[in-house]
Amino acid sequence: MTKMSYNIDDVPAIGQALKRQQAKLPEPKEILKDRRLKQLLADIKQQSADQRAAYGQVVNRLKAELQAAAAAAIDEEAGLSPIDITAPFDSNVPAQLKPSVGRATDGSLHPIWQEIDGMLDIYYRMGFNAELSRQLDDDYHMFESLNFPSDHPARDDYDTFMTPEGLIAPAHTSTMQNRVLKQYRANLAKGQAIAVVIPGRVFRNEDVDATHEHTFYQLEGVYVDQGINVGHLIATLQTFMSEYFHQPLKSKIQPFYFPFTEPSLEFAIERPAMLKKDDSEAESWLELLGCGLIHPNVLKAAAIDPVKYSGFAWGGGVERLIMLKYGIEDLRHFHSGKLDFLRQF
């Protein structure tokens, strides 16, 4: 028998049933594996073109509600009250637990920020400005402005966390592209390029291990002017990598897919000699980041004429670069609070 797909009218009843069942589960997060929820999500693709966006929205909202309830249950069990994640961090800490404030000279910059500062210095010397990304953003900046239609399966590649109000803990620093393009658009009329790098914290729904964290840093870059091509992109990245690793490095690009670039590419460098373990081909290249020429729709969303101007963008993980440079084997060291690790920087 061929299975009929769900439509938007089915969602409320199934949603109610899932919530009732979730309330009874010893592990409320188990509901996220429910067959009906998976089917609802899978059926986004089955909707007619005029229904897809609306259907996708209610189904994704339902998923976010179930995730939020699961997270709340975990907090409750741990005896924690829900926190306001947009508030300054210490306003969520009960008064009796607040640490006394130490002298500024007692502390130092976290190694990740020391390294980011060094990376920004390289880009400053190449003529870039820097803007910090946000730690809470909206659907428009996370997806719409980056040419992800509301029902596009590529959204699934950026599985992250959402507040019950639908705000998003950004899964990449590309969320800032639309903002910096608008902010620096006036440069173009003056015959100057838009050249901005954007460091920031990003969040993914990941199982944590030595090379994956749910919270990490990315460095993004955006460059727009007349007559920009892939050659400019490669030269910029290669210059940065050679500076950062203090040695000339070969690089290569290979095709990839991102909705916000056309063509989309992956940028790899020749593994620095000190990190080579053997001579195999797989050992010799390190894929470091995603990049490409900015998609015309992304320029249009920032009111930049894609016929007159073109640009490139890139974005990649910061910790990975630091780990390669210093031979750090486990990503979790960075946030472990282990002083013997941190003091080495």
**Contact positions toward ligand DAH, by CB under 6 A?**
172, 174, 220, 258, 260-261, 290-292, 313-315
Q: How far is the CB of 211 from ligand DAH (least distance, A)?
A: 15
Beta carbon nearer to ligand DAH, 291 or 318: 291
Q: How far is the CB of 203 from ligand DAH (least distance, A)?
A: 11
Beta carbon nearer to ligand DAH, 32 or 253: 253
Q: How far is the CB of 251 from ligand DAH (least distance, A)?
A: 16
Beta carbon nearer to ligand DAH, 22 or 133: 133
Q: How far is the CB of 305 from ligand DAH (least distance, A)?
A: 19
Q: Are 242 and 212 in contact (CB under 8 A)?
A: no
Q: How far is the CB of 290 from ligand DAH (least distance, A)?
A: 3
Beta carbon nearer to ligand DAH, 21 or 251: 251
Beta carbon nearer to ligand DAH, 15 or 315: 315
Beta carbon nearer to ligand DAH, 151 or 220: 220
Q: How far is the CB of 86 from ligand DAH (least distance, A)?
A: 23
Beta carbon nearer to ligand DAH, 29 or 232: 232
SS3 sequence, the chain? CCCCCCCHHHHHHHHHHHHHHHHHCCCHHHHHHCHHHHHHHHHHHHCCHHHHHHHHHHHHHHHHHHHHHHHHHHHHHCCCCCCCCCCCHHHHCCHHHCCCCCCHHHCCCCHHHHHHHHHHHHHHHCCCEECCCCCCECHHHHCHHHCCCCCCHHHHHHCCEECCCCCEECCCHHHHHHHHHHHCCHHHHCCCCEEEEEEEEEECCCCCECCECCEEEEEEEEEEECCCCHHHHHHHHHHHHHHHCCCCCCEEEEEECCCCEEEEEEEEEECCHHHCCCCCHHHHEEEEEEEEEECHHHHHHCCCCCCCCEEEEEEEEHHHHHHHHHCCCCHHHHHCCCHHHHCCC
Distance, in Å, from the CA atom of 299 to the CA atom of 293, rounded to the nearest integer, reads: 11
Beta carbon nearer to ligand DAH, 111 or 317: 317
Q: How far is the CB of 202 from ligand DAH (least distance, A)?
A: 7
Q: Is the peptide bond before 170 cis (omega within 30 degrees of 0)?
A: no
In sequence order, the 6+-apart residues with CB closer than 8 A to the CB of 265 are 230, 233, 253, 254, 255, 256, 290, 291, 292
Q: How far is the CB of 345 from ligand DAH (least distance, A)?
A: 25
Beta carbon nearer to ligand DAH, 59 or 313: 313
Q: Are 166 and 83 in contact (CB under 8 A)?
A: no
